[in-house]
Amino acid sequence: MSNEQFVEYENLMKGRPHLVILGAGASIAAIPNGDKNGKQTSVMWGFIDKLDMRDIIESVSLKTTSENLEDIYSELDSRTDCDDVKRILESRIMNYFSEFEIPDEPTIYDVLLLSLRKKDCVATFNWDPLLLQAYQRVIRITKDLPKLLFLHGNVAIGICEKHKSVGAIMNRCPICNEHFSPIRLLYPVAKKDYNSDNYIKDNWNAISHYMKRAYIVTVFGYSAPKTDKEAIALLKNGWGEIHDRNLEEIEIIDIRSEDELVKSWDEFIHSHHYGVFDSFYKSTLGMFPRRTCDAMFDRLMNCKFLDSTKGLRENMSFQDLESYFKPILEEEAIHKGGFSID
């Protein structure tokens, strides 16, 4: 390969997307002390009590003894005599998540969005509005932000069914000026149908595209549950066979053990091409924000020793973040890609 060919290849690789997949653990990390009003988010286990649904659920004598919302909802969904209870549960879920307000200070979601560029993508399984609320305020710092995908729907997103336009739930359709209607949430049945709703189907088609093209995939707080086989199969279909992904990297941000995490994602990991981190700030996103694919290529292909001490710090204010990203954004205004990491 000539020098010119290598430079062209380098720019191509560095220009590939970085895909970030978010699960419940990411929202928990975003508001570890609760939202603006102290409201805590949580995983699905024991969630019925948070919704104040215990008495209503017990009134229908479920066969399952599980405390997991997915198991409870799945049984309700399978029984026609539980339709009224299921509708109450769906309404409670929508209302519960709609009440979340992002804290005034920066969260992990603010920092995550600023750490990526327009070529990149953040796909979330979460219903809460925190990611979109973060997006709506960091866009004041830069409009060059990643695409957002909501794989199970989201309480902050609305749709005009007539004109197929989508936006923040408080907005109006730009064509007919009617208020958006809430999009459908994909509730946790054991066997999910990702084709039953056009909006959710479009989001899954999009993530498949990003899985195919991604240089780095970061999984943040998503447990890859064995019960959601349809989701894992769709992700795997986009990613392909691991022997064909020998240049790409999987990064996992989670507090669970490395052995457990690698076992969960072994269908996606080629050999040693992975990293496990217990903090966002230790990952490539935190150490080389907006230059993640550039840093990965320089480290693996250019064999550079990279200085990770210049990365983001915990507890940065919005003023700190603006100052930190100012020279990075100025460099992007001059050079459109293929950045070299010092």
Per-residue pLDDT tens digits for 239-285: 999 999 999 999 999 999 999 999 989 999 999 999 999 999 999 99
Same domain assignment for residues 94 and 113: no
Q: What is the DSSP string of 254-302?
A: -SS-HHHHHHHTTTT--TT-EEEESSGGGSHHHHSTT-HHHHHHHHHTS
Same domain assignment for residues 296 and 259: yes
Residue 77: enclosing H or E segment and its boundaries?
helix 69-78
Q: Does residue 288 carry a pLDDT above 90?
A: yes
Q: Is 325 inside a domain boundary?
A: yes
CATH number reported for the structural domain that contains residue 209 in this entry: 3.40.50.1220
Same domain assignment for residues 273 and 133: yes
Q: Which domain holds residue 224?
A: 3-36+106-151+192-334
Residues 6+ apart with CB under 8 A from 106: 316, 317, 318, 321
Q: What's the mean pLDDT when you consider all of the chain?
A: 92
Assign 69 a pLDDT band (cuts: 50, 70, 90): confident
Same domain assignment for residues 157 and 225: no
Same domain assignment for residues 94 and 123: no
Same domain assignment for residues 112 and 62: no
Q: Is 342 inside a domain boundary?
A: no
Q: Are 103 and 39 in contact (CB under 8 A)?
A: no
The terminus-to-terminus CA distance of the chain in angstroms comes to 24
Q: Is 164 inside a domain boundary?
A: yes
Same domain assignment for residues 87 and 15: no
Q: Is 297 inside a domain boundary?
A: yes
Q: Based on the structure, what is the number of domains in the chain? A: 3
Same domain assignment for residues 160 and 289: no
Looking at 77, 98, 119, the residue that finishes a domain is: 98
Q: Are 107 and 134 in contact (CB under 8 A)?
A: yes
Q: Report the residue count for the chain.
A: 342
Same domain assignment for residues 85 and 225: no
Same domain assignment for residues 82 and 216: no
Looking at 143, 161, 185, the residue that finishes a domain is: 185
Which has the minimum average pLDDT: 2-11, 77-86, 134-143, 187-196? 187-196
Same domain assignment for residues 252 and 270: yes
Q: Is 41 inside a domain boundary?
A: no
Assign 338 a pLDDT band (cuts: 50, 70, 90): low
Q: Rounded to 5 degrees, what angle do the CA atoms 296, 299, 302 make?
A: 115
Q: Does residue 64 carry a pLDDT above 80?
A: yes
**Can you name the residues that pair with 122 across neighbouring β-strands?**
20, 148
Residues 6+ apart with CB under 8 A from 109: 26, 30, 102, 130, 131, 133, 134
Place of tokens 């102290």: 38
Q: Is 163 inside a domain boundary?
A: yes
What mean pLDDT comes out for the span 112-122?
A: 99
Q: Is 340 inside a domain boundary?
A: no
Q: Does residue 157 carry a pLDDT above 90?
A: yes
Q: Among candidates 111, 103, 15, 30, which has minimal Cα distance to 325?
A: 111
What mean pLDDT comes out for the span 206-219?
A: 98
Give pLDDT, residue 65: 86
Give pLDDT, residue 258: 93
Structure tokens that stand for 141 in this block: 């710092």
Same domain assignment for residues 139 and 161: no
